[in-house]
Structure 1
Amino acid sequence: MSAEAKLDFAVLLASSVHDMKNSIALIMHQINQLPPQSSDSGVDVGHLQLEANRLNNSLIQLMMLYKVENQQYQSLPDEHYLDEFIEDVVLMNQPTLEPWGIEIEQQVDPELCWTFDKNLVVGVLGNIVTNVIRYARSKVLIQVRERDGNLSLVVEDDGPGYPEQMLGELQKCRMGVDFGSGSTGFGLYFSVLVAEHHRQGDRYGQVRLSNGGQLGGGCFELILP
């Protein structure tokens, strides 16, 4: 396939993603108007919200990756107070969490302020919070702190934790398909690229996965210089 054909396909894909995202936004709005699940309807509204959110997050990530790869993304790093930032992330995801009975707790120093690209980091955290709903039993914790001159954003859950082979620092996360779970690893791939997009001199962001923490389950950590 010629380079021109590949480019045309990329442009076509980006245009299609944009159209799909508009459709998903309309679907999500309609889902949010539905009443909770009842014995009369048999509709699991919480599950519909979760899957619609996951699809919406994937489309947003695809658009951002396309723009970054084609040097069309304008990075907008700015200073943000982390307590306000995390509160916004929680509020954005609350409609998805509530039907599953999952409590989300925040541990953030109200004085902590950091410079980063808000849109990219919201994309990472929103994707992680949406995904942990499938594994958390009843609680999710978002913990933010300064550590060793870096900003550490940790999303923990009280589920079974990450598989052993996924633990540690993720470097150039490979795109692959797990035919058992249907997972492509795309969300983690996006997270690593966002982390590496944040640089200070010779230091750059990282993503680490571990198990344990305060809730005993999986711990996703985004580290920004």
Structure 2
Amino acid sequence: MPVISKKKKGLSESLSVPFILLIIIMSIVVFFTFNIAMRAYMRKAAHEQLLETRSTVGALLRKELSEELLSSDANDATTAKSRALIVALNSAIRVTQSASDSEIAILGANGRVLLPKEESLSYNLNQAIAKVQDRILEGKNTDTFNIREQGTNFLVSYETFNTTKVASRTQYLVIVASLEGMEKLLRRINVLLILIMSGVTILGAIIASSVASRVTKPMKEISKYSKRMIENDYTPLVLETHTKELDALISDMNHMGEALELKEQTKVDFLQNFSHDLRTPLMSIQGYAEGIVTGIFETPQKPAQIIANESLRLKHLVDQLITLSRLEANGLKVNKETLELYDFLNLLIERHEGIATQSHIQIVLNCSKDLKIVTDEDLLEKAIGNLLSNAIRYANSHVIMDVTSQKNKVTITVQDDGPGISESVLPHIFNRFSKGNDGNFGLGTAIAFKAIEQLGGTLFARNHSKGAVFEIVLYEVHRSLNDQ
């Protein structure tokens, strides 16, 4: 079933969009939180101010209003006086309150409007009085509440009072304050908030885009560089990012490019030289075989022996390649068992005595005869055998093999008195494409390294004053050694 690939977001979008969304969400939260808090504060302030005004006006009414001013049969002079008093009280309220739209009314004990006259009542005051009358009938003598009429909120407060001259008669003082001024102020603040938050969002989007660009631009260049490396173009990437992590990434990419370039060049050189190593014995075999066929040689024994030797040389090269490939692929099974190390090394040296004698090289072994380790004999033979062959090849007069043991490890060193390892070769000595001091490409050190690695040990190479030293450290020591 074919996999349907979804369109993925770009890195710039992935970085900037969450940042912009965060700004928008925070702006919305701030906007609504501010509105809720501001409305609560304004209503509380208006409520407290209205109660204070009601108390002040109530005290004034108790002192100034008389029974005659409130009676229904008052004469014209009394009515004019009451109206003047109401106008004065309304003016006082407008000065006292921040909201200018405030009105008062006086109701009788049964809720009937006493002042001002009903024909002069505004629509809002009339609606407020109707609500107050309902509450009076419910037995509530004092209350403060909100009403909404014609799209405007009003705060209504009323209380009972008695005139000083007729204390037994109860009236109701009603004050209605419009909250329209507060609503207008809040709307203006909201417009200002929206403008500020829009500006912050736009500024945040610009900043997020800039930051994302500073990240994505180097990433695009790094992507181009990686594609160039695929095409074997390892020209270093020069890019200043002003970001520590990206600079480190670019530096690592350049180092990787250098390593790949070196590996690629070494591989090419290895193949060229190794093909030469293969071609030389093949040409020798071909030449001697043709000579035998054409009868150039009087006796075929000598050319046949040369052909056999060159065939063995070819087999050795091919075997080394196969062995290294299997080691790198973990294709060799590790069978560990207890091994008498002295006997093992002594036998290995005997196998190399012929080559060493021909080169006038002496091999010295320093090892305890009762030392035992748990290891794979075949892998250990491949490792030490290759190191010993290399040591014999480069030694001037002798090769020393030292074995030292501690409680939980054994160290085997193979040391020659040759020219040592070139400093340029030493860091890459265990690379399968490493080139030796003599210009030859050998697989022995690479095989030794991989073999010891599979045994769970370590292999080091260094120079000393009189040649090269290869040091093997193995950690699985026989129990009898630990008891010593």
TM over 0.5: yes
The structure having more radius of gyration, on CA atoms, is 2
Q: Encode CA deviations 1:163-190: one digit per residue, 9 max, x unaligned.
A: 224557x79x433353973333522221
Q: Aligned pair 1:126/2:385, yes or no? A: yes
User: Structure 2: which 5+ runs fail to align?
Assistant: 1-277, 279-284, 286-301, 303-308, 476-484
**In 1: Cα distance, 2:316 partner to 2:367 partner:** 24
**In 2: Cα distance, 1:85 partner to 1:186 partner:** 23
| Percent of matched pairs sharing the same residue | 25
The residue correspondences of 1:7-26 to structure 2 (distance < 5 A) are none
Q: Aligned pair 1:86/2:336, yes or no? A: no
Q: Is the 8 A contact 1:53 1:130 kept in 2?
A: no
Question: What corresponds to 1:102 in structure 2?
Answer: 361
**In 2: Cα distance, 1:70 partner to 1:76 partner:** 17
Which residue identity does 2:399 align to in structure 1?
V
Structure (1 or 2) with the greater strand fraction = 1
Q: Aligned pair 1:192/2:449, yes or no? A: yes
**In 1: Cα distance, 2:377 partner to 2:351 partner:** 14
Q: Aligned pair 1:207/2:442, yes or no? A: no
Question: What corresponds to 2:469 in structure 1?
Answer: 219
Larger RCO: Structure 1 or Structure 2 (Cα < 8 Å, ≥ 6 residues apart)?
1
Which residue identity does 1:207 align to in structure 2?
L
Aligned residues: CA RMSD: 3.4
- State which drifts further: 67-76 or 123-132: 67-76
Task: Give the drift of 1:84.
Answer: 0.3
Which residue identity does 1:94 align to in structure 2?
E
The residue correspondences of 1:1-225 to structure 2 (distance < 5 A) are 58-68=317-327, 72-147=331-406, 149-167=408-426, 173-176=430-433, 178=435, 181-199=438-456, 205-212=457-464, 216-225=466-475
User: Structure 1: which 5+ runs fail to align?
Assistant: 1-19, 21-26, 28-42, 44-49, 200-204
**In 2: Cα distance, 1:180 partner to 1:107 partner:** 28
**In 2: Cα distance, 1:121 partner to 1:111 partner:** 18
Count of residues in Structure 1 that have an aligned counterpart in Structure 2: 171
Change (3 A) 1:144 1:56: farther
**In 2: Cα distance, 1:117 partner to 1:54 partner:** 26
- TM-score, structure 2 as length reference: 0.31
Q: Encode CA deviations 1:61-80: one digit per residue, 9 max, x unaligned.
A: 33333444556422221111
Change (3 A) 1:72 1:135: closer
**In 2: Cα distance, 1:187 partner to 1:53 partner:** 17
Q: Is the 8 A contact 2:434 2:442 kept in 1?
A: yes
